[in-house]
Structures are given as structure tokens and as C-alpha cells.
Structure 1
Amino acid sequence: MRRGALLYQNCAARGLELSAGRVSGVWTEHGLIKASTVVCAGGAWSSRFCRRHGVDLPAVNVVGTAMRTSVAANVINGCFSGPGFALRRRLDGAYTLAVPGFGRIDLAPLGLKNAIRYYRNYRNDIGKKLKYRLSNPWFEGPEASASWQFVDVSPFERCRVLDPTPDPEFVNVALDNVKRAIPGFSDMRVVHAWAGAIDTTPDLIPVISDVADLPGFYLATGFSGHGFALGSAAGELVADMVTGAKPMTDISPYRLDRFSDGTSLKVPEMM
């Protein structure tokens, strides 16, 4: 990179190297990279990476489903949210379609451990939009509990691409809702569906923070479905933190310690 950055591809991070109680590097599948400052922006995998070092990052991965439709009438240009659906017209004349706020939680050890922190979420309107199931993530996924040594193959190498299964119920609900609201889409059909894991915090606010117990370690994770919208601002905040510059805004609402210092968290009403 022109400004001195190095980009390592196909090089999974296995864990942190510590010296005198602070970060001194990152162990990867290709060896040690020395660094006095490390930012973890691992999305769905961040909580498991942190747990390996005794850092409690409460996060549950909600699996959301989206789909691509057949080419349909040019009723809407751009983005639109209606009753029980959200869609965006594509360049090929089809639409990207989803059911906003609906998702699936694959039950696994880390998610169950954090369940009490999400109790209020499960009891409000958000909880009514979620499904739960037992599946393979119990043993191998981002919320599994097994540890590993840095000389061994890590979970991040065994599953390099997290590709969860889309939920056919959500596909049908989205298609039915959009056809009901827009008669011009009566012939619309789903051509392809996919799913993605949304790393979600108890208050649906991201964690952009240092880690007090591990000097030199920073987090930028838990964006709760808003990562694309907040990404550029979050990047600037992280850069301010790691360089010691004055942050462009108050970062206290994003601190990791809010989950453990008695702060009264707001109950989110939407996701």
C-alpha cells in the first residue's frame, strides 16, 4: 500500500502475543506478526476470539436471510421499506428482497452463556421476529466454546467463509408480503437466497473500545446490522483511539465496559 500498510490474505489470526501484560503481536497461521496495537474487527467471530483471551464480549449472531428476485416491473427505483418487506432495485432489473428485523439464532454455548443479557430483547417485539435451532455451530461455529493453542489449526481456519443456510420461511414471507403490497409484482419469484451472520450486542450498539485488561487491544465489532452505514465513521474513531488523537465524538456509549459496570442499557425496539 502507498502509505505503508501491509495486507495479508489467507492468513488467519490465531491469537494475541502478550508481553508484560500487554499486546506485543498476533499469532497467525504463518507465524508471529509483531505489533504493539491490535484491532479486532472480526464481526461474527470477534466474541470467540476475545474469549480465548479471557475478554467477555457479549454478542449473539443473528442469521438474516436475503434474496434476489426475477426481473420484475420497474415500480420502485432505489430502496423501499413496506409492511413486512424491504427491497432495492438492482441494475439487472431484478430486486434484492428481505424481511427486516427477522432472523434465526443457532443455539450454541457462547450464545446460551449470554442469553440473560438479551432477556429484555427476547420479550419485546424483537424477540417475536426470531427463530431458534440447534445446529453445527454448537461444535464449530463462532459461538462454540472449545479453546485452541496457537500452534494448532484455529477455528478461523477450519471455517474460513461463514456461509449459513438461508431460512425458507423468511423467503416465503418476504415474497408474500411484497406481492400483497404491490400488485405489479404478482409474477415475481425468488431466483436465489442467501444468509449472513449479524453480530448483535444486547443494546444493538457497536463496541468501539479499548480493552482495559489487555493494553494495546481494541475492538470494533457488534454493529448489529448497521456496519455498512457506520463503517466509515467507526474506522475514523478506531484510528483516533489507536493513534492517541482526540476522537471526533464522545466514544463512551460504545465502550466495552458498559456491559459490566452497572450501566443501565436501553432496550432496543428494532433491529
Structure 2
Amino acid sequence: MPEKQVDEISGVETTGHEWDGIQELNTPMPRWWIRTFCATILWAVGYACAYPSLPMIKDTTKGLLGFSSRGELQQQVRLAKTVQTQFEQHITAKTVAEIDADPSLRELAIAGGASAFKVNCAPCHGSGATGGSDFPNLNDDDWLWGGDLTAIQQTIAHGIRFDADPETHLSEMPAFGDVLERAQIRQVAAYVWGLTNAPYSPESAEAGKQVFIDNCAVCHGEDEKGKQEMGAPNLADRIWLKGRGEEAIIRQVTAPKHGVMPAWSARLGDTVVKELTVFVHSLGGGK
């Protein structure tokens, strides 16, 4: 029997192998580690037999347990759709006021409305519903056609100046460039701007008050706070849809721009319109 070789420094037996004067110590793996490693191999074999794992030409082995993560996901999706359908049926059957008064339905409607808003409304009103140039902010208290649940539902369902819907909101501001003199338009612009800001010319603003009474008060009201039944905006606040400043007001009075909002009822259906209504109302600006 060959004599065992022991490393002089560590005192550990060597394997007898040597490379460039370096000897390999005989330090095998611990028994517990080897047993654990063997157990993992057995576990892997058992897992491969129990679950789908081994690839074949066109498919994989099905496993003894018949488990499928895709099948489990499909089952969960079916269950979620069943629950969603039940809630949607309740939303369909109830008015927006009843939905808003029911905490569980309101929560679901807001979630569904938020999703529908991102797809259909955000391109104009912004992802946060803060609006933009010519598109109103839905978070404030300034509502052209009313901010309660019924009014919001009517606006979403039938749109604004949408020719294809006979129930759409209709109102158009006349082009006063064909009615008033240029000086009168500047005067009324100074007066309207001066309601919330300092006008360039106080004298023009004073003269513009009578021009406003004679030509604008019928729609915007003698108190300048607008009339929602006509879609006429409040001019006595600091919210401006068509641009700020006297020059912007002059342009709007001379040749007004009129926005168009599509009627969403035919495209989205009454249930989604109700969800959008509750969501928009929940933003905080609704009455």
C-alpha cells in the first residue's frame, strides 16, 4: 500500500496530485452537503414527473398532477369576469345617483371609469383630467354645462356640438366682429378682463360695461357668471378656456372658436358612460 502523504503546513492528507509544486489536499465535501445535493436531484426528478416540464417536439409532458399555470390563470380570469359582470349588471340597472350612494358600486365605477377615461378622454383632457388649450379642466368648479351627476352624464353621453347626436348640447357664440365696431370689441374685452385683472385701459373697461350689457349679458348673465343651460362660461372667475389676456378675449369675441366633444353613449354604452360619470364627478369639481 502506498504511503499516505501529509501536507507539512496544514497537516492534512493529500491526494497525491501535484502541480508545479502545489499539492492537492484531500478534503472531501461534508456528508450533509452530499445528502442535500442528492435530495435536490430526487426532488427535481419528482417535480419533473408531477408537473409539466419536459419539452417534446410539439408540446411538453403534462405531469401526473395535470397542473397548468396557464389553465389556472384562465380560471382566475373567468372568475374575475364573473364577479365583474355581476357588478356591471348592478351598475346598468341603477342610476348614477344610486351608484354614487352605494360605496361598493361607487368604488367599482370609479375604477372602471378611470380606465375608460385614460383610453378615451385623456387625449383631450389630459391623463390627470387637468385639461389643456381649448380643453376644460375637469378638476375645478367651472362647468359649462353643469357639474352634477345628471349633467355630467348628459354631456358624456351626447357630447357637445356633435352633429350625429340629436340630443347633443348646442350653443354658439356669435362672431361679434360682424356686429360690433373694433373699438367696441376692445372696450368689452377690457371690461371682461378687468372683472378679475387690471385692464390696460380703465376708461375702455368702463365703456365696455355697457357694450357687455347690450350684447353679452343675455348669455353670460348680468352678473357675468354665465348660464350653464346655455353653455355660456363664467367670466367673473380666473379660469380661461380660450386663452388669457385682453388680446385673447378680442380674438374670441371677434371670431369665436367652438369646441366639439363626441357623444360617447353609442360607442361605449350606457354602463361605461355611468362609470365615467361617477369617475369625473369624483375628481372633486362636480357638485
Shorter-chain TM-score range: under 0.3
Greater share of residues in strand: 1
Query: Please, what TM-score do these two structures have when normalized by structure 2?
Result: 0.18
Query: Please, what TM-score do these two structures have when normalized by structure 1?
Result: 0.18
Greater share of residues in helix: 2
Question: Which of these two proteins has the greater Rg computed from alpha carbons?
Answer: 2
